[in-house]
Amino acid sequence: MNPDLMRDETMMALFRQEAEAQTAVLARDLLLLERNPQLAAELEACMRAAHSLKGAARIVGLDAGVRVAHVMEDCLVAAQSGRLRLGSEHIDALLHGADLLLHIADPVMADDAGGQTIDRFVERLERFLTGEEPVLPDSARPLPPPLPEADPEKDEAAEARLPEVGERVLRVSAEHLNLLLDLSSKSLVELRQIRPLVDALERLRRQQATTGRALAALQEGLQSDGFDAAGQARLADIRRHWSEQQEIFTRSLQTLDEFSWQAGQRTRRLYDTVLACRMRPFADVTVGLARMVRDLGRSLGKQVRLEIDGESTPVDRDVLTRLEAPLMHLLRNAVDHGIEGPDVRLGTGKPPEGLIVLRASHRADKLRIELEDDGGGVDLKALRRTIVERRLTNADTADRLTEAELLAFLFLPGFSLRDAVTEVSGRGVGLDAVHHEMRELHGSVQVSQQSNRGTRFVLEMPLTLSIVRSLVVEISGEAYAFPLAHIERMQDVPRADIVQLDSRQHFWLRETPVGLISACQILQRPDVDPDRDSVPVVVLRDRDTLHGLAVDKLLGEQTLVVVPLDPRLGKIQDISAGAVLDSGAPVLILDVEDLLRSVEKLVSDGGLHRVDRRAGASGPAARKRILVVDDSLTVRELERKLLQNRGYQVSVAVDGMDGWNMLRAEPFDLLVTDIDMPRMNGIELVTLVRRDSRLQALPVMVVSYKDREEDRRRGLDAGADYYLAKASFHDEALLDAVVDLIGEAQG
């Protein structure tokens, strides 16, 4: 390659890197100047950023960049001198200039259209400087630019944005960083295996000392018995050699002990340092959010400001990457649905400018993100009306729903309170996407609201996906790990404290009955010790419900490095990943969310084993078993109750993947499934069932909102035996169809 060309490409890459840093400064400080144009430090910072970009553009030969940066610098200097008072129109134009400078090196800016854009921009700012009233036609008005989608190839460049003064930033690929973490964790585990060797050698040293004292006693006894001089000399020589070997052994043991300690400290420091390299400040994902909120608000005729607290909070880079989309959805939702227009706010006694606050913090072993606005809250009457209109439940049930139950409908796929689709909202994608992403991160999202005072979302997720602080237990002779973030507590429960309530075993925790379930039964492992006097129990929380899982032993807490399972295995029910214990033994990390779904299924089936087997096991009478697969909690529970009241034994799954795992694990007489579901839809599930030789004869019913003829044909072609549209759904229609397919519950 031409050396000059290589140099030009290198210089252009450096310009792009500087443009990212300097335009971030402009975007941040221009928003502050919009609220207070007299902020001298921010004005100076913006002027310096524009000046730096002008010089950088000149060096790499970007004349258009020189023109844009120069006229921006002139406007900022005029603002510094008081000749120009910055208002929203000026801030709009300067932010548009920052966008142009960020992309000035892109090939698209070199064509005729790009040149015309630059000309219009320069002319507009020059009119500011001459005092003319700026008039920008709608066709040329810059729209709020969306944040760029995550690009793995640009992750490393983003990490170099705005480094601290004097900090050296190096680009390291994620693969190399993961390899370093894996090697350092394995080194830490292997080094720990030296400790038992040191302890064994120390025991041997003490035994040798005891043997030496026995030799001394023997020599003294032989001297008193008149042992000859030659024998005495040989014994003394043996003792001398013994003492020399004991001294060498002691010194070597001390050296090994010191090496073990120092190597352990260094390896731990290496491991912690590599782990810290994976952590990035929360600010890395908030770059541009304040600008996006401001521009989106202006496009909707609203005044909105975003405040961010906790930008220095460290977050695992993998978690950080996954947070961008949920935060964007929540912020757009807050601006569009939450914050009212200026006139409405003034009429309710609020300032015309709406406020959204985004906070990040650590709580226990979790990352907690709170987003709240001071808008009008959620219109619960409109929400009830929409739920009924969309036939998600009937009017009587909707009237009895609590506020928390009503708000849960906001997270359903395709659900929206908007009657019309706009560029901002109305498609029902945003909150469903947030809920789905939190589930993927093994986290949760909760929403609360106060009428005319605002809405609050709380997201909680693990601090990192690379390591997990866990409780290691033994179940059926094998080690398993529960992530501590999901554990309410652990304790030994005396068998005398286990009681029978509503056909299920419970124990009392702080005056609250907690249902007891055998972990062996959930994981389909044999119970190896049914006669112990007490039961080790791990208490898990599922929202407001506690579940107690009986295990064989509580082995203690450990920090585990997560080792993903081979993707060829697919999703293994109740298991999320693997790890290596401090002893070097492998351990499976439990998927607690999946585990809780298995608990829910067992409880709903009524097929729980007794933890105390000595009292005799009892089970339900043989009934036909039906699996209901639907991601809508309301639909799922309605179908479950209808079928259970008819006498069928019913299990439920929350999506196609969950249903597929259950079908492979246990027998069913009928599958009832929805179509539109995350992870695996109903068509994919039915297709897999018909391809599996063990399940080909299983009757399948599809219950879907889609009732067009082509939708019905698609479901039947995939292998369904019956297609029932939810639009015409009623109790008897479902039950009659089930009877037609498999007969009565105990027929």
Looking at residue 573, what DSSP letter applies?
Answer: T
Give the pLDDT confidence score for residue 734 in this predicted structure. Answer: 85
Give the pLDDT confidence score for residue 344 in this predicted structure. Answer: 93
Instruction: Tell me the pLDDT band of 307, cut-offs 50, 70 and 90.
Output: very high
Rounded-to-integer distance, Cα 182 and Cα 192, Å: 16
Residues 546 and 539 sit within 8 Å (Cβ to Cβ): yes
Give the pLDDT confidence score for residue 304 in this predicted structure. Answer: 93
Residues 386 and 398 sit within 8 Å (Cβ to Cβ): no
Which amino acid is located at 550 in the chain? A
700-704 and 467-475 strand pairing:
unpaired
pTM value > 0.85: no
Q: What is the mean pLDDT of residues 238-266?
A: 82
| Cα atoms in the Cβ-side hemisphere of radius 13 Å centred on 142 | 22
pLDDT > 80? residue 631 = yes
Q: What is the mean pLDDT of residues 621-626?
A: 78
Highest mean pLDDT among 10-24, 104-118, 283-297: 283-297
Q: Among candidates 317, 262, 307, which has minimal Cα distance to 285?
A: 317
Q: Per-residue pLDDT tens for 725-742? A: 766 566 688 888 898 889
Residues 577 and 565 sit within 8 Å (Cβ to Cβ): yes
Q: Is 124 exposed, middle or buried (0-12, 13-18, 19+ CB in 10 A)?
A: buried
pLDDT > 70? residue 423 = no
Q: DSSP letters along 131-193, please? A: TPPP---TTTSPPPPPPPPP-GGGHHHHHTSSPPTT-------HHHHHHHHHHHHHHHHHHHT
Cα 735 to chain centroid distance, Å, stands at: 39
pLDDT > 50? residue 618 = no
Rounded-to-integer distance, Cα 591 and Cα 419, Å: 39
Q: What is the mean pLDDT of residues 589-612?
A: 78
Q: By mean pLDDT, which of 101-110, 170-179, 482-491 is the weakest?
A: 170-179
Q: Per-residue pLDDT tens for 162-194? A: 344 345 566 677 777 777 877 777 777 677 777
Mean pLDDT of the chain: 80
Q: Per-residue pLDDT tens for 497-540? A: 887 665 578 888 877 888 888 888 888 887 765 566 788 999 98
Q: What is the mean pLDDT of residues 92-111?
A: 84
Q: What is the mean pLDDT of residues 51-69?
A: 87
pLDDT > 70? residue 443 = yes
Q: By mean pLDDT, which of 175-189, 256-270, 277-291, 371-385 is the weakest?
A: 175-189
Output phi, psi for 471, to 5 deg. Answer: -100, 120
Q: What is the mean pLDDT of residues 417-431?
A: 55
More confident residue, 153 or 273: 273
Q: Per-residue pLDDT tens for 344-384? A: 999 999 999 999 999 999 986 689 999 999 999 988 888 88
Can you give 238-268 as a three-state secondary structure string? HHHHHHHHHHHHHHHHHHHHHHHHHHHHHHH
Rounded-to-integer distance, Cα 701 and Cα 703, Å: 7
Q: What is the mean pLDDT of residues 249-255?
A: 82
Give the pLDDT confidence score for residue 614 in this predicted structure. Answer: 46
pLDDT > 80? residue 251 = yes
Which amino acid is located at 95 in the chain? L
Rounded-to-integer distance, Cα 536 and Cα 548, Å: 10
Give the pLDDT confidence score for residue 110 in this predicted structure. Answer: 65
Q: Per-residue pLDDT tens for 206-238? A: 887 888 787 777 777 777 666 777 777 777 888
Q: Which two tokens stand for residue 168?
A: 């050296």
Give the pLDDT confidence score for residue 671 in this predicted structure. Answer: 94
pLDDT > 60? residue 587 = yes
Q: By mean pLDDT, which of 562-576, 608-622, 669-683 is the weakest?
A: 608-622
Rounded-to-integer distance, Cα 200 and Cα 197, Å: 5
Q: Is 100 exposed, middle or buried (0-12, 13-18, 19+ CB in 10 A)?
A: buried
Residues 709 and 736 sit within 8 Å (Cβ to Cβ): no
Residues 35 and 19 sit within 8 Å (Cβ to Cβ): no
Q: Sign (positive/negative) of CA torsion 630, 631, 634, 640?
A: positive
Highest mean pLDDT among 42-56, 253-267, 463-477: 42-56
Q: Per-residue pLDDT tens for 331-340? A: 988 998 899 9
Give the pLDDT confidence score for residue 365 in this predicted structure. Answer: 67
Q: Provide the residue count of the chain.
A: 747
More confident residue, 108 or 290: 290
Give the pLDDT confidence score for residue 6 in this predicted structure. Answer: 43
